[in-house]
Structure 1
Amino acid sequence: MTMIDEEWFRTLDRFGKVGSRHHVVPKFLLQKWADSNERVWAKSKHDRIEGVRNIRDLAITDFYTFLADDGHLDARMEEVLSVVEEHAAAVLRRMNNPLATQTILTPREFGDLVDFVAFQITRSPRRRREYELMADWSGKTMAAGTLAAKVR
């Protein structure tokens, strides 16, 4: 059974995380590498500058917020990612606890890690751009011949 189902998704607040900053690499993982001031060594892909940066500065505003069919922003995917990360973080905390005697994953924990890894594989600015281009191409293909050409 997957943690994400359509009925649960519809109950999420679609505006709750609009305007929020989110990390492509989850904050709980960045914190493992950070100093006491929550700073890590990072290199920007945009300006190629590298150095010590605060974890909060590595976030992207509205990364998975999208414009819904009704013309309003929808940030429910960010909420889904928060839940997936929260569940994975709990499993990883238990697995990394040196005092834990039980190291075998339950089916639920295994599923939580599978969900997390699946999201991480597809969660990057490049991948998002690829999805945008595929959606754009699909939309243009589906509407081929049905839209009037724009004359300049």
Structure 2
Amino acid sequence: MANIADEWPIPGDPNHFVGARHHTVPRFYLEYWADADGHIDVVEKPGGRRYRTVPKTASAETDFYTYIDLDGNPAGHMEQVLGVIEADASAAIGRITHPTFGQFPPPPDDMYAIATFIAFQKVRGRRRRREIETHADFYIKVQYSGLSRDAIKAMLEEQFGQVSPDQIAEMEDLVANLDEYEFVPDPNDHIRMMGELAQAIFPRLMRRHWYLSVFDEPVLITCDEPVIVYKSNPSPLRGYGMLDADEVWFPLNPSMLLILALEPQSVPARFTAPISTAETVNAHSTHSAYQNIFLYPGQPDIDAERLVDTPLFEVTAPADVILPDGANKPLKNRKTARRRKPDRK
């Protein structure tokens, strides 16, 4: 995958996007689920509250991709890069989903654009940011948990040189009350990782076998984490991802599912699928969702049992290791670190 950063400067002022609302799920994509009046339905997870809105405001947050550059200034380059990726993908997906002239398999350039888009979509959302935050919080708490006064003194001296009794006492208090704190990395950490992670995912998508599953009715839903990894017989002891999943699913619209299979399948590249298959896809979409599930307004309510909350990740440890409070439990708070507006002098 080419590095878009090598093509700078992209025409236009990238800082134009500082202070703007950034879509974590692109507006063009959500518009496929809009009715004739331009509305989509959103179901919140957990809880199941359903409401109607428009793609312009759904899954958007001010300055989500704004980062602080090396000069300490807010910069909007990442939002501009995502805009270029989305524009290419929108055109490519449109050539697949066109009701009259839709074509599949897509030509190489369109496959490139769609794979790039899916790779970034897998790593750009609020779930990935919250995972980074939760991992960081977990790691720090495990590292500090149970430290004795001597261990605290040695750690501080290694980091800062000579330390005072007050500094040691302050750190002792922190260690004794770790569960009262949350250690949250700056959003820059997530934004910094996005390109590297997407570049690792991209070739794995391009090497897969591409299929298009078409339904006779608009039955598919989508969510704020629309890239779904599927394995028919997952191990209870380890996870799976883009490398070893049997299939990667991406709903293109309410009646078309893009399937990227690890192995060749005994079906045509484009095939008609039974409605029962959509039920399985929708169940995985509901499970994959971080907070929002998106539906065409005419689609039925989601079964409440599918909205049961689960941990972002689970860890195992020896019996004598005390895990931090909140480990292996559903999130109490789905908010991610926000980029604060800088003070203007």
Structure with the greater alpha carbon radius of gyration: 2
> TM class, shorter-chain normalised?
0.7 to 0.9
Give how far 1:68 is off: 1.4
**Structure 2 counterpart of 1:76, one-letter code:** H
Q: Do the aligned partners of residues 80 and 134 (structure 1) sit closer, same or farther apart at CA in structure 2, a change above 3 Å counting?
A: farther
Unpaired runs of at least 5, structure 1: 138-143
Question: What is the aligned partner in structure 1 of residue 332 from structure 2?
Answer: none
For 2:105 and 2:136, locate their aligned partners in 1 and report how far apart those are by CA, in whole Å: 41
**Cα gap change, 1:54/1:89 in structure 2, threshold over 3 Å: closer, same or farther?**
same
Alignment partners' CA distance in 1, 2:48 and 2:103: 44
Structure 1 residue 131, shift from structure 2 partner: 3.9
Question: Measured at CA, do residues 62 and 117 of structure 1 come closer, stay the same or move farther in structure 2, by a change above 3 Å?
Answer: same
Q: Secondary structure at the match of 2:16?
A: coil
> What does residue 110 of structure 1 align with?
111
TM-score, with structure 1 as normaliser: 0.76
**Counterparts of 1:3-152 in structure 2 under 5 Å?**
4-8=3-7, 10-12=8-10, 13-45=13-45, 49-58=49-58, 59-100=60-101, 103-131=104-132, 145-146=159-160, 151=167
CA distance in 1: counterparts of 2:33 and 2:91, whole angstroms: 18
Query: Are the structure 2 counterparts of residues 147 and 7 from structure 1 closer, same or farther at C-alpha, using a change threshold of 3 Å?
Result: farther
Shift >6 Å, 4+ stretches? 133-137, 147-150
Which is further off, 40-49 or 72-81?
40-49
Change in 2 beyond 3 A, CA 1:50/1:108: same
For residues 133 and 69 of structure 1, do their structure 2 counterparts lie closer, same or farther at Cα, with a shift above 3 Å needed? farther
CA distances 1:37-85 after superposition (whole Å, capped 9, x unpaired): 3221113459864211222222111111111121111111111111111
SS at match of 2:40: strand
The CA RMSD measured in Å over matched residues stands at 3.2
- 2:51 is paired with a residue whose SS is strand
- Whether contact under 8 Å (1:64, 1:75) holds in the other structure is yes
Tell me, in whole angstroms, the C-alpha distance in 2 between the residues paired with 1:146 and 1:134.
25
Alpha-carbon spacing, 1:147–1:114, altered in 2? closer, same or farther (3 Å): farther
Structure 2: any 5+ residue segments left out of the alignment?
A: 140-157, 171-345
| TM-score in terms of structure 2 length | 0.37
For residues 86 and 21 of structure 2, what CA distance do their matches in structure 1 show? 15
Question: Relative to structure 1, is the Cα distance of residues 146 and 133 closer, same or farther in structure 2, using a 3 angstrom cutoff?
Answer: farther
